[in-house]
Structure 1
Amino acid sequence: MTVRGQLTRRNLVLAAVVVVLLALPSLATAFFVNFVMTQTLILGLAAATIVFLAKYAGMTSLAQFLLFGVAGFMFGNAALEAGARGLNLGWDAWAAVGFAIVVTTVVAFVLGAIASRTTGIYFLMLTLVYAVIGYFVFAQIVEISGPGGITSIQRPELLGPPVRLYYAGLLLSVLAYLGFRSLGRTAFGLALQGVRDDPIRMASLGFNVALHRTLAFTLAGFVVGLGGLLNVWWNGQIDPASISIGPTLILLIIAVIGGISSFEGAWLGAFVYVLVFTYLRDLPLIDRIGITEARFNTVIGVIVLAIMVLSPEGLTGIIHRLRGRLERPAAAAADTSTGGPLPLRKTEKEFGGTRP
């Protein structure tokens, strides 16, 4: 099958998935939609920024959950009125949204500019340092949070019913997915992939390597900031513990579970993580084998280990391999039914006349 045919089939499958997700509130329980699927869309949106940076720029970032939290903290500081923790600016909800996104994007630009000249393990460790610093900033500066965090955060009236927050997450997820995929075919996206593959050669051709990496990190910060707003509206509160090292690593694990080279894997990994986290404790006799809620991280670790052994490309890699195995017998059967490919033969004209 041609690449064009594969892309068409892929798009049709994704369109069918979106249709199912649009109809899901009328097909599933309110708990499944408003807890499992809304959380899946939020975490998937954040994990997609890790995939974007790794896939196009070759940068594995551990700072995405920090930016995720910055958006939530800034919204809480701007939207809440006097009497609550934080700055208590008391702004209109949508003005607070704009403020949170601008601050998150600016922070992403500054952090990206600092980290843009590092690569590999050095970039990974620097972004981990960002996450640690961010945790202590919000834990120790009581004017913007303090250890208790910010509570009683209300979502805008437009998103009042929980199902609307689900649809908002679905809309942003679709836009982020299509936007990231389209970006890879633009001049900027192609140059970014060139920087990923050979930064020295790209620099010699006149491309500003550091600027491309900085802009990619900034774009990822903008998108993860949108996810951070959805998260703080879904939770109704945010505290420094929610952006500590644990959640930071969990977001990376989600991307790895789904497949860090596949945008679809971001949401697939998030779905598996939320599903296990929500329903593992309810499995019959699960406590008889020593699996309790306190050992959830161990279970996740075993799942990640099993997936990495079976397929370093994550669940999407496993799906692609299974699909390939199913297609081979069908292709072989089609060749057999048509007599197989015709052998290469010269015509009589090519032989220069009638064969003897």
Structure 2
Amino acid sequence: MTARRLLTRGNIGLALLVVVLLAMPNLASAFFVNFVLTQTMMLGVAAATIVFLARYGGMVSLAQFLLVGVAGFMFGNAAVEGGARGLNLGMNPWLAVVFAIVITTAVAFVLGALASRTTGLYFLMLTLVYAVIGFFVFAQIVELSGPGGITSIQRPDLMGPPVRLYYAGLVLSVLVYLGFKALGRATFGLTLQGVRDDPIRMASLGYNVPMHRTLAFTLAGFVAGLSGVLHVWWNGQIDPASIAIGPSLILLIMAVIGGISYFEGAWLGAFVYVLAFTYLRDLPLIDQIGITEARFNTVIGAVVLLIMVLSPEGLAGIAARVWRRVNKPASAAPTAPAGGPSSAA
């Protein structure tokens, strides 16, 4: 019975996709793997935290990229030694990773506790305020960053070759995807979904609704922190502009493009965005129709609008409908009445 549950079409498809992604460094150019796919993995993990909060908790957060940035800033402060800005703690890179994740998780816990008693639009706006405050904190406190940010951030020697960073992002993506899916069937995930659907009734049954929301936000912050460490390893620097309102909205756009109700949509939306950002402006004669770099966000807005009109559930929703239609069993052919046409007449 267990083997049958594991050998479903979805699991087989996921396994085949992972095999293809593992082989991508041998199938595609180094630029495509190290730039497009690596960014897709990192941003997909961050977008998956938005999907997790929205799908299981009914909480749409604009603070997730702030938490990505907190991890990056904390790693830079901990790992860099003798830099122009930051704390310059000079820690071992792997100890700096632990430091960054712990600080990010603690920040997520505090922010989640403050927002746990709000819902809907109020929760969305409060997390937007978090993103604004985070930007000014790192922009104005020179001891942590300052407007110029932290540069010359080196990743550990084990992650030296760029392809290893791609594989690290791939492994993290698979673990996050499977972990979030499994959490939806666990006690905490089921309780969180109950809180999403009817918080008053869950509270009357004895569940601590604010604590469940706080823990969900903390878990999402922990995962976003992992993405942030990979991101600062890949980029080699971080500055306050990288966690401003624009990037926070872009991360939400990725989740919406892919489908905010589907975990697969997090990586699908990230891939579409990175692909468009990388190649759209380089298409032949694209500038002749008015699509310049200054108007790229307008193009992305038009793409989002088109996808939402065609499918409010995003690209993953379209794929799910096609999958259900392909696998829908053929209906039985209608049979004539027992007495034949003459008797029916």
Same fold, TM-score > 0.5, yes or no: yes
In 1: Cα distance, 2:323 partner to 2:335 partner: 23
Residues 122-161 of structure 1, C-alpha deviations (whole Å, 9 max, x = no match)? 0000000000000000000000000000000000111000
Q: CA deviation at 1:82?
A: 1.6
Mark the CA change 1:66 to 1:342 in structure 2 (over 3 Å): closer, same or farther: farther
Q: CA deviation at 1:325?
A: 3.5
Q: CA deviation at 1:84?
A: 3.1
Residues 165-186 of structure 1, C-alpha deviations (whole Å, 9 max, x = no match)? 0000000000000000000001
Match of 2:8, SS?
helix
Superposition map of 1:50-65 within 5 A: 50-65=50-65
Between structure 1 and structure 2, the one with the greater Rg is 1
In 2: Cα distance, 1:325 partner to 1:153 partner: 49
Question: Structure 1 length normalisation: TM-score?
Answer: 0.91
Superposition map of 1:227-242 within 5 A: 227-242=227-242
Q: CA deviation at 1:11?
A: 1.2
In 2: Cα distance, 1:226 partner to 1:302 partner: 31
Partner of 1:308: 308
Match of 1:284, SS?
coil
Partner amino acid, structure 2, of 1:331: A
Partner of 2:342: none
Match of 1:47, SS?
helix
Partner of 1:250: 250
Partner amino acid, structure 2, of 1:62: L
Q: CA deviation at 1:323?
A: 2.8
Q: Return 5+ residue gaps in structure 1 as ranges.
A: 345-356
Partner amino acid, structure 1, of 2:243: I
Partner of 1:175: 175
In 2: Cα distance, 1:6 partner to 1:13 partner: 11
Partner amino acid, structure 2, of 1:181: K
Superposition map of 1:195-274 within 5 A: 195-274=195-274
In 2: Cα distance, 1:117 partner to 1:103 partner: 23
Partner of 2:321: 321
Q: Return 5+ residue gaps in structure 2 as ranges.
A: 339-345
Extract structure 1 runs of 4+ deviating beyond 4 A. 4-7, 340-344
Q: CA deviation at 1:343?
A: 10
Aligned length: 335
In 2: Cα distance, 1:5 partner to 1:95 partner: 39
Partner amino acid, structure 2, of 1:201: R
Mark the CA change 1:195 to 1:294 in structure 2 (over 3 Å): closer, same or farther: same
Question: Structure 2 length normalisation: TM-score?
Answer: 0.94
In 2: Cα distance, 1:254 partner to 1:67 partner: 17
Percent of matched pairs sharing the same residue: 78
Partner of 1:349: none
**Deviation larger for 222-231 or 278-287:** 278-287
Q: CA deviation at 1:322?
A: 2.3
Partner of 2:90: 90
Superposition map of 1:56-205 within 5 A: 56-205=56-205
Query: Root-mean-square deviation (CA), in Å?
Result: 1.8
Q: CA deviation at 1:302?
A: 0.3
Partner amino acid, structure 2, of 1:168: A
Residues 98-141 of structure 1, C-alpha deviations (whole Å, 9 max, x = no match)? 00000000000000000000000000000000000000000000
Partner amino acid, structure 2, of 1:172: L
Mark the CA change 1:261 to 1:121 in structure 2 (over 3 Å): closer, same or farther: same
